[in-house]
Structure 1
């Protein structure tokens, strides 16, 4: 059941996207197929990369699902205090994804990032067949400075040593390429909607690839650093979410060019978005009031911060409708103490907390 729950999110995203821009990948029409085994039993309807995944790489489905779950959780975190809070309940997400808004662009980008991230991590952990990890770079180190290696050299071992400190770095290139193949193999690249979609996918993948962290460790007697091993590791996915949220705030509205094969900023004075920027082609709906046609659940009943002037403040979140004040019983850990050895024991305290909710 847990695997099926993980797959629901990615199948929602891929099914909706694919039904808009190309032939159905995972299902028939807008109907979602929740059973991964059922999906792969329908391989006669699938083509290209999707058939290969079902027939030869079922473990890829599991990692894609993990990546999609990470993406939605991060989306919910980044938008938890906004009028649109990335909810997936009551088919809201389905309706949101039917338009090319800022919110849609973020969902596409964070989904591509999540799949890239999960596949890269799984590859380095040996959970996927047919991929290898990136080897660490090992070289002599003097005064804690890594000696430059010859071009295209992935590792270096001092000839007078019989040990090899090389290990397994995160293979982000594998995750990047597989994510691209999986999400874009059936898109029609002569439609501006598909171009916008692919652009946001790429921004999501690059948010992982271009934010890899360099890590090193030293080897030597008595803590010396006569030999140093360095590798690239994935950033935290929270860092990826922060990067893409910043891109969301600065996203550019675009329109199709005359030939319909590319897009350009709607406002001529705005520079062309880079590959790491997010783009959209439709204005966002009003998320203040519930509207089934747009997927908006409204903000009525949402908890807000009465003292904040930001997006989580009651004025903005409640769209000027005012608030209701109530008392809520809160349970939390209190009077914690450390017991030797080694546990922390806490009591459970209850208290009354004043909360404000939108009218």
Structure 2
């Protein structure tokens, strides 16, 4: 008859296996981006049928259904921005053709790439929900009216400042829910929540001020200003920089709690805005359908660059690429026509292109 400790160990191993293999253990709410826009994503019945949501996220959906359309928009933002930021990298945020694992099993590993997507995802939810507040699309929130008075620079705070506090709070509730359900004593949940917070801080630390001048004949005797979020493209660029400088960490015990510390003791502990990762990334060179990695065969690359990330030797994982000529049609000889249009001719140019080969 097995001992109590043996039974507990077996239960723990089964739970760890479930975390590693269950499809809703990653950021699979991103699969909302694949739903047709005509299909509702709120209400008790639709929430229960949404694929990719954890049990807790279904509960959030049922309690705050009006926000879920913003969550769907956030999922679309993540995929679009990730593919823009990594368009010249070996892993270019390629998506799987179906299923809830939008980025394949790449997200089930504690790599830099997973760190970036988790950070971008939490930021996207905060941005999309905040936009909904500012546009009057959500009943429970609106503009941030707490920013009032005269600033040290001499302008008057007024207007409709973005209510980022509401968007950040919802992001913490919805995006972090899956990790909190696992327990915050394991490496992956700690890593993911740290990167979620880094994503939100990328917005907070890049807020912008917009102003309007008031006065006779357009003079700026008085300026009224309000706070706005940075463009999401800026948020993606900031997180891409954090990706390049991400810190490899390991799970450590400090007293009665667990924490993530740099694997290299010579490296300073990561700040709250830094990305962290636990596992070394695969090379992404070869086709790996099981993990959703398409490989780099057939990818365009920069044949004139050796050290840049888009250079053929890096993208193609060595000297395996071919050069060829292709004809491209471009606009040329553009002239301004009064009033008010620009007319161009269509010119054909032959250009050299480089692609990865097997």
Aligned partner of 1:102 in structure 2 is 112
**TM alignment of 1:141-290, pairs within 5 A:** 145-146=153-154, 166-186=158-178, 187=180, 188-258=183-253, 261-290=258-287
Aligned partner of 2:315 in structure 1 is 317
Is 1:131 matched up with 2:147?
no
On the 8 A contact 1:138/1:230 being kept in 2, the answer is no
Decide whether aligned partners of structure 1 residues 41 and 242 sit closer, same or farther in structure 2, where only a CA change above 3 A counts. Answer: closer
Structure 2 Cα separation of the partners of residues 25 and 337 of structure 1? 49
Which ranges in structure 2 are unaligned for 5 or more consecutive residues?
1-20
Query: How big is the shift at 1:120?
Result: 1.2
Structure 2 Cα separation of the partners of residues 100 and 46 of structure 1? 19
Query: How big is the shift at 1:246?
Result: 0.7
**TM alignment of 1:29-178, pairs within 5 A:** 34=35, 36=41, 39-42=46-49, 50-58=58-66, 60-90=67-97, 93-135=103-145, 145-146=153-154, 166-178=158-170
Structure 2 Cα separation of the partners of residues 241 and 83 of structure 1? 18
Structure 2 Cα separation of the partners of residues 46 and 99 of structure 1? 18
Among 342, 345, 349, the alignment partner of 1:344 is 342
Structure 2 Cα separation of the partners of residues 184 and 97 of structure 1? 15
Query: How big is the shift at 1:277?
Result: 0.5
Structure 1 Cα separation of the partners of residues 84 and 208 of structure 2? 23
Query: How big is the shift at 1:203?
Result: 0.6
Is 1:19 matched up with 2:34?
no
Determine helix, strand or coil for the equivalent of 1:325: strand
Decide whether aligned partners of structure 1 residues 138 and 253 sit closer, same or farther in structure 2, where only a CA change above 3 A counts. Answer: closer
Is 1:299 matched up with 2:280?
no
Determine helix, strand or coil for the equivalent of 1:168: coil
Determine helix, strand or coil for the equivalent of 1:89: coil
On the 8 A contact 1:140/1:226 being kept in 2, the answer is no
Which ranges in structure 1 are unaligned for 5 or more consecutive residues?
1-15, 150-154, 156-165
Root-mean-square deviation (CA, aligned residues, Å) is 3.1
Runs of 4+ in 1 over 4 A off after TM superposition: 24-27, 32-35, 45-49, 136-141
TM-score scaled by length of structure 1: 0.79
Q: Which moved more, 1:323-332 or 1:248-257?
A: 323-332
On the 8 A contact 2:106/2:113 being kept in 1, the answer is yes
On the 8 A contact 1:92/1:297 being kept in 2, the answer is no
Query: How big is the shift at 1:356?
Result: 0.9
Structure 2 Cα separation of the partners of residues 18 and 180 of structure 1? 21
On the 8 A contact 1:72/1:111 being kept in 2, the answer is no
Query: How big is the shift at 1:236?
Result: 1.5
Determine helix, strand or coil for the equivalent of 1:177: helix
